[in-house]
Amino acid sequence: MRLWSDEIEELRPEAREAVEKGLGALLGLMGREEPLPEDVHARARAMRKGFERMYAPVPEAQVRKIAGVPCRVFRPEGRPRGVYLHFHGGGMILGAPEMNDPLNLDLCRRFGLAVVSVDYRLAPEHPYPAGPDDGVAVARWLLDNAERELGSARLLTGGESAGGYMAAAVLLRVRDELEAADRFDGANLVFGVYDWGRSPSQRGLRPYAGPDLLEPEGIRVFGECYLPGRSDDERRDPAISPAFADLRGLPPALVSVGTGDHLLDDSLLLAARSAAAGNEVELFVAPDMPHGFNFIPCGITARWIERTQRWFEEILSRPARAAGLRRSRAPR
C-alpha cells in the first residue's frame, strides 16, 4: 500500500527543510516560545491569546447570526454553485472563523461557493457537546434555508484540525438526528482529531518524529478542557469520537494529514473505516509534514493545494447526491 506518489517522494528533502525553517517562525507568531501555566484552564487562556495573532479578517466577510450562532458569511458574485459549511481549528479551546478568512474568501471566489464559517462555542467555558450543538444548529438552518437565503440548496462541509472534527461530528449527527446526510455532497477533512481517546500518534508514536505544532501534553490539555472528567475509553464513545462511529452513508470525503502530525493516526483510522463502510474517500498523506502544514509553503503543500482544488471542482461538477438518491429510491 503506497500512501504517496513518486513525485511526492522526490519533494521530501525540500519539505523537511521548509518545515525546519518555517515551523519555528509559526510557533513564534503564536507566542508558543513563552512558558505556559500548569493549570489546564489557565493554559488554555494563554494559548488562546497567542492564537489570536493568527487571525486575518477581511472586509468581504458578512457577520451574522445563524440559528443564534455567530458566523462569518462570504457570498460569490452571481448564483452560488453551493454552500460550504466551514469550521475553524484550535483544539476546541482556541480559534475563530477570522483565522480562515483569506482561505474562505478564495474558496468563495474560485468556486462560486457561499461560505458559512461557524463561531462555535469553545471549552473550557463550554465543554462538549456545546461546540457540535452549535454546528448542528447551523447545519439544520442551512438545510431549511440555504436555497432561499444564500442561493443554493447544495451543501458541502469541512474544516481544519478541530474543524475537521467538527465537520465529521456534525455530519454524523445530521445523518442520525436530521436524516439528511444525503443533502451534503462532500466533506473536506484536514488533519482533524477523530479519536478523543488519544490515538498512538497523539501519544507520541509517530512514523516521522520531526517538529510539529502539536505535542502530547498540549493534546492532553485540549481533552481535559473539552471532555473534563472522562477517561480515554469514555472519550471514544461514538457520539464523541467520529473514528469509532458507524460511518455508513456519508458523502465523499477528502482526508488530508502529514506523517509528522500527532493526529496522523486519527485520519488514517477514519479514512480506512469510512472506505470500508462503502463511502467514497480519498486520502492525501503528506510525508514529513506537521500539523498545520498548509501554513508551510513547499512543493508538497503545493501538490496538496492542487489536489484540494481539483476535489472541490470534481464534487461541484457532479449531480447533487440528494437528487440521485431520490431517483434510486423511487418506485419502479
Q: List the catalytic residue out of 86, 88, 262, 291.
A: 291
Q: Output DSSP code: residue 90.
A: S
Q: Is 161 a catalytic residue?
A: yes
Q: Is 291 a catalytic residue?
A: yes
Q: How many CB atoms lie within 10 A of CB 310?
A: 12
Question: CA–CA separation, 100 vs 139, rounded Å?
Answer: 19
Q: Are 251 and 184 in contact (CB under 8 A)?
A: yes
Question: CA–CA separation, 287 vs 8, rounded Å?
Answer: 8
| Lookup: cell for 319 | 449531480
Instruction: Supply the angle between the helices 40-51 and 216-226 in degrees, to the nearest 10.
Output: 110
| Residue owning grid cell 455530519 | 171
Q: List the catalytic residue out of 161, 199, 241, 274.
A: 161
Q: Is 262 a catalytic residue?
A: no
Instruction: Supply the angle between the helices 12-29 and 299-317 in degrees, to the nearest 10.
Output: 90
Q: Is 105 helix (H, G, I), strand (E, B) or coil?
A: helix
Question: CA–CA separation, 139 vs 285, rounded Å?
Answer: 29
Question: CA–CA separation, 273 vs 313, rounded Å?
Answer: 25
Strand ranges inside 161-302, DSSP E = 184-190, 253-258, 281-286
| DSSP string computed for 215-245 | -HHHHHHHHHHHSTT--HHHHT-TTT-GGGS
> Residues 47, 101, 149, 142: is their CA dihedral positive or negative?
negative
Q: List the catalytic residue out of 119, 182, 195, 261.
A: 261
Phi and psi at residue 122, in whole multiples of 5°? Answer: -115, 150
| Lookup: cell for 76 | 460569490
Give the residue among 219, 216, 199, 220 at the shortest CA–CA distance from 267.
Answer: 199
Q: State the virtual CA torsion across 219, 224, 227, 228 in degrees, nearest 10.
A: 170
Report, as residue numbers or ranges, the catalytic residues.
Answer: 161, 261, 291
